[in-house]
Each structure stands twice: as C-alpha cells, then as structure tokens.
Copies of this chain bind each other. A is one copy, B any other.
Amino acid sequence: MSELAGFFYPRTATGQSSLLPAPPWHYSGDLLTVEYRTDPARVAELLPPPLAPAPEDPGAVALIWADWQSCGDGGAELLDPVRAQYRECLTVVRCSFAGRVYSRCVYIWVDADFALARGLYQGYPKKLGSIHQTRPHPFGLAAPRIGPGGRFAGTLAAADRRLAQAVVTLREESPGNGFVNAHPMAHHRWMPSIEKGAADSLDELVSSGSASFEGGQAWRGDAELELFPSPAEELASLEVRQIIGGYYRQVGVSWDGGRLLAERGVPAGPAAS
C-alpha cells in the first residue's frame, strides 16, 4: 500500500509517470482568430443553467487556431519537444452568470494527449483532431510575415473529415485579437457516474483565466471561414451569418488554477470565491 504521487493519471509512488505536472502551466504560441455572428439560438442552446446568454451580441462566436509550445514549471518538456508541442482549434462563445460575462469553450480539438487531459481537467470539451495553421517566418517565400498583406490559414479535421477552414489577410494593427475570448472562462467539469442511471459524479461550474499574460502587437484583417458537417460533430450548426473580423497575435500565457463557481447547480460559498 502506498500514498500515490502525481497530479494526474497514472499516479505512482514517485509521480514521474503523471501525464500532467501540477500547475502552473506555461504556454508560448500564435493565435489565429476569426470572429463571426451566428443565430443566437444556436449559442443559447449550448449554455446549461445557471448560465444565460451574454446580454450583448449573444450570437458572437470566435473560432481560434493556436500553435502552442507548453510546459510545467521546470520546463523539462521543452528539451523533449514531442511532449511540449501541440495545436488546437477551439470554438468560444460568451455567457453570463451572476451578473458577469464569461467566455466559454463549447468545442475544441487538440493533437496531443497531455493537452486533451489538461482540457478535461479544466472543463474544455476536448477531442483529438488534426489542426494546421500557417506559420509566419522572417525569411523565404514559404511563409507570410506578420504585417499588412500577411495571409494566414487555419484548417481543422477530426475522424478524417475536414470540419473548418479559414483564411485571414492582415490589414492593420489592432488593439486586441477579438472580444469573444476576452473574459474569464466559465466551464463545466462533468464526470458521469460509473453506475448506470445515477447522477454525474462530478458536476461543477468553474472559472479560470490566465495567471499571467504577455502578447505582441495584435493585427486584424479580412477573414473567410467555412464550416463543414460531420455525423459526429455539430460545429457547422454554428453557421456563419456575418464575419466580424480576423486576428493574429503571438502570446505567452501562464495558467495556475481556477475557482469553483457552483457545484451541482449550487453556488459555491465565500471560501471558494
């Protein structure tokens, strides 16, 4: 018998095997964002109580591609980069709870197991996908520069079907890279019961945001976005009614835990706030 160590599975006597180190987690990467408006009813139906639609522009959606390197506090993953690099594509909407506006990720695909597990822990509804995003580079003809006329594409596939593709052509500097993903995240952490018919064993509404952030100059421009149907996905149900804009930004972020907002629908007490 043993007290086990390790933040996540597999927990062992030493903790060495854990798929995830304990937070903080650090990220360096590039974000390609397309914001658009869909039918607000399609957003509302993805918000379980006690969440309500955002009071303004409730049909706004951000589809975000991210090309990341990430690591725990020691940074050991950076010297074994197969354990540090991953890409993701996520769909973010806004919602309101207790008088405050939150961002909420309703769909997300990643291409590494550590990112998948991290997301399930944080309440991101992660699946595996194949995600690609044009990279900027300062030399040669095979890459755009981050500046006027730079063209960046993002593509997403899962289960061997393309689900989304976007092209953003940068035009000018921008104060930020969109407003949809600009709030703290409000996510549910659910785990179904092992017993059939029983209520979820875990049912929490949690909030988190960056513990620290630094970013380069954001750029905005024109965006094209196509969504494709799949029998196993509903991303295309958030149909594109009006493009708001496209953005590109390089960022560095750290994440270091969040707060419990409600458990089984009951708001958490002051100790947790």
Q: Is A88 an interface residue (CB 8 A)?
A: no
Q: Is A144 an interface residue (CB 8 A)?
A: yes
Q: Is A182 an interface residue (CB 8 A)?
A: no
Whether the pair A252, B140 counts as a contact (CB closer than 8 A) is yes
The residues of B that contact A192 with a CB separation of less than 8 Å are 7-8, 121
Give the A interface residue count (CB, 8 A). 115
The residues of B that contact A254 with a CB separation of less than 8 Å are 140-141
Q: What is A's interface to B at a CB cutoff of 8 Å?
A: 1-4, 7-14, 16-17, 19, 23, 26-30, 44-49, 51-53, 68-71, 75-76, 78-85, 106-108, 112-113, 116-117, 120-123, 125-128, 130, 132-135, 137-144, 151, 153-155, 157, 159-162, 165, 167, 188-196, 201-202, 204, 206, 208, 214-216, 231-234, 250-254, 256-260, 272
A11-B125, A139-B216, A195-B260 are known; give 17 further A-B pairs, CB within 8 A: A1-B44, A1-B53, A3-B48, A3-B49, A4-B46, A4-B48, A10-B106, A78-B144, A81-B132, A82-B155, A83-B232, A84-B134, A85-B135, A112-B128, A142-B252, A160-B162, A161-B161
